[in-house]
A = this chain, B = another copy of it.
């Protein structure tokens, strides 16, 4: 393992990096990006496919993703209105590292939950 490169997270320019990581790793961002990885979706379709998200948070998170250039928003002048969301090239490029982290989480869920349970019983 290349330990010298952990400075990527720690380094001095890390303030900008961390600001971006914080935004990626919030409650809904990864979930929305992963959902859009399947293809273009409309607002209501996204709302249905992401259980538990409120309209407000879906809108806010999509606006942030659009603002950061990870998601493209297309408005069609129709009645009823139609708005489609799709990942940009940059947005798609986030999928592999996101999956790496998700893979790690899945792989270590048993160990982590066991460690948590042991910790609880110790403090009880």
A residues contacting B by CB (< 8 A) are 1, 3, 5-10, 14, 16-18, 20-22, 24-27, 30-31, 34-35, 37-38, 49-50, 66-70, 90, 92-106, 108-109, 111-116, 119
Set B9, B35, B37: member contacting A30, Cβ < 8 A: B9
Q: List 16 A-B contacts (CB under 8 A).
A: A3-B95, A9-B30, A9-B99, A18-B27, A20-B108, A24-B25, A24-B105, A25-B26, A67-B115, A67-B119, A69-B111, A90-B112, A93-B104, A94-B104, A97-B97, A97-B101
Residues A21 and B30 in contact, CB atoms below 8 Å apart: yes
Min Cβ gap A9→B in Å is 4
The 10 A-B pairs of least Cβ separation, nearest first, read A25-B25, A69-B115, A9-B34, A97-B100, A6-B34, A67-B119, A97-B104, A6-B37, A8-B102, A100-B100
